[in-house]
Structure 1
Amino acid sequence: MKQNSNWKIIHDKYPFEKLIEATFLALKEKGNSASNTEIFNKIIEILNIDDNFLEIMHLDTQKSELEYQLAWARTYLKSFGIITNSSRGVWSITPEFAKFANINPQEIIEEFNKNKKIKENKQKDKVLEQKLEYVEENEEFQTWKNRLFKILTNMNPFAFEILAQRLLRECGFVDVEVTKKTGDGGIDGTGKFKLNGIFTFNVAFQCKRYSGSVSASAIRDFRGSLTTDIEKGLFITTGSFTRDAKEEAMKSGKKQIDLIDGEEFMEKLAQYGLGLKEIKDYEIDEKFFNNI
């Protein structure tokens, strides 16, 4: 796991051992399975994490430092066989550990580091070692996402709106139009979404190329721009949303605002193959060949 000054700020308050343990407990409380968002929100509750720590970003990514470290916590737990994830991004506790009330984070860290050292010692060729060091990255923070994030945040604002329009069409929206007017009150486009082929909603969306977090005030401003004929609002960003922003978006008694953060936006681009092409690879089982 890469370390930096922001890592130390988080680690001093919430040691990595605590994050591993909290991840396991969060899954337990969610019925042994949950999405990344559900796990993250439950950990905030379990550790009573202060909002200030949620705003600390990891290097030049669209992720907070806390999210980055929690992704590594899941990787450590997965390597130990405690949790697994589906192709749809749902994490679950494996049957072997489903009945466990708690775990030993230090044992997990020691085992992970031991296995890592074994792998490193097997790399005798210096070129291979350098290649391993380059590609060795948390599976949830693959290099393609980092590169794509930089591309998205450097796009022309209108081009990014056009990209969002294309993605919404792939997601089932129709009559998607990008607003070209200035001073439109924050609305970048509109469209219609038909739910289950029956119910149709008029939707307005806003796109923000942020590297940081969208605040609650931005959500309130967007909501204030929605006209009476708009049933739903959709806020798209390359960054993330603060906890207050998420709460504001779902505030009862007000028009609901759906949120798509940078992580979900990139996953959707990959899902529909917009500017991305999947490359398949193979892991070689050397024992298989050695034992023939």
Structure 2
Amino acid sequence: ALADDLMLEILKMSPYDFEKLVVQLLKNMGYGEPIATKKSGDEGIDGLVKADKFGFDTIYVQAKQWKPDSTVSRPEIQKFLGALAGQGASKGLFITTAKYSSEAILFAQRHLQQKIILVDGEMLTRLMIEYNLGVSVETTYEVKRIDYDFFHEEI
């Protein structure tokens, strides 16, 4: 139910704010230096994120805010692949509020020069909940017990 409510709020956002949300999610997940690209003339890239906090590699991001019952098909992934190639990129992340067709999934799974990861609406809301983006913790309980292994191991 929380994921469904979260999706309803995501769909109320402007497309540009959705792109910023995706970049913020990646930041919450521990990626380094996330950047949302400008609104127009982005050449098919909605954001960039460093693969780690040291900035060893860049991941290019495409964010599509579509109706949850719609389907991202293979041509959309092919366009993204073209955008990645145009940037000389080796890694891409395509995030949508919709679903992916089986052809799109198979195309992304191919061993291409560019690695493309697909995140659908269901996975997006799960990640937002896991990384506390757009949600807040209402109650936390912590129960402690003796760790007998600690006392019986050699230190």
1: distance between equivalents of 2:61 and 2:89? 10
Larger RCO of the pair (alpha carbons < 8 Å, separation 6+): 2
The answer on 1:188 being equivalent to 2:46 is yes
Q: What code does the residue aligned with 1:237 have? A: T
Which of 253-262 and 151-160 deviates more? 253-262
Contact 2:28 2:133 in 1 (8 A): no
- Which of 32, 36, 41 pairs up with 1:178? 36
What residue in structure 1 maps to residue 107 of structure 2?
Answer: 248
Give the alignment of 1:81-160 within 5 angstroms. 143-160=1-18
Give the alignment of 1:20-39 within 5 angstroms. none
What residue in structure 1 maps to residue 63 of structure 2?
Answer: 207
Secondary structure at the aligned position of 1:191 is classed as: strand
1: distance between equivalents of 2:12 and 2:6? 10
Residue 277 of structure 1: how far off its partner (Å): 2.3
Normalising by the residue count of structure 1, what TM-score does the alignment of the two structures yield?
A: 0.44
The answer on 1:232 being equivalent to 2:91 is yes
1:172-200 Cα distance to aligned partner (Å, 9 max, x none): 21121111141322110112113xx8893
Q: Which 4+ stretches in 1 moved above 4 angstroms?
A: none
Q: What code does the residue aligned with 2:125 have? A: M
What residue in structure 2 maps to residue 268 of structure 1?
Answer: 127
User: Percent of aligned pairs with the same residue?
Assistant: 32
Unaligned stretches of 5+ in structure 2? 140-155
Q: What code does the residue aligned with 2:123 have? A: E
Residue 170 of structure 1: how far off its partner (Å): 1.2
Residue 263 of structure 1: how far off its partner (Å): 1.1
Q: What code does the residue aligned with 1:217 have? A: P
Change (3 A) 1:274 1:215: same
Q: What code does the residue aligned with 1:173 have? A: Y
1: distance between equivalents of 2:94 and 2:119? 6
Which structure's residues are more often helix, by fraction?
Answer: 1
Change (3 A) 1:210 1:181: closer
Change (3 A) 1:199 1:188: closer
Residue 264 of structure 1: how far off its partner (Å): 1.2
Normalising by the residue count of structure 2, what TM-score does the alignment of the two structures yield?
A: 0.79
Contact 2:32 2:55 in 1 (8 A): no
Residue 202 of structure 1: how far off its partner (Å): 1.2
1: distance between equivalents of 2:40 and 2:87? 20
Change (3 A) 1:253 1:146: closer
1:92-125 Cα distance to aligned partner (Å, 9 max, x none): xxxxxxxxxxxxxxxxxxxxxxxxxxxxxxxxxx
Residue 250 of structure 1: how far off its partner (Å): 1.6
Coordinate RMSD, CA, aligned: 2.1
2: distance between equivalents of 1:242 and 1:223? 16
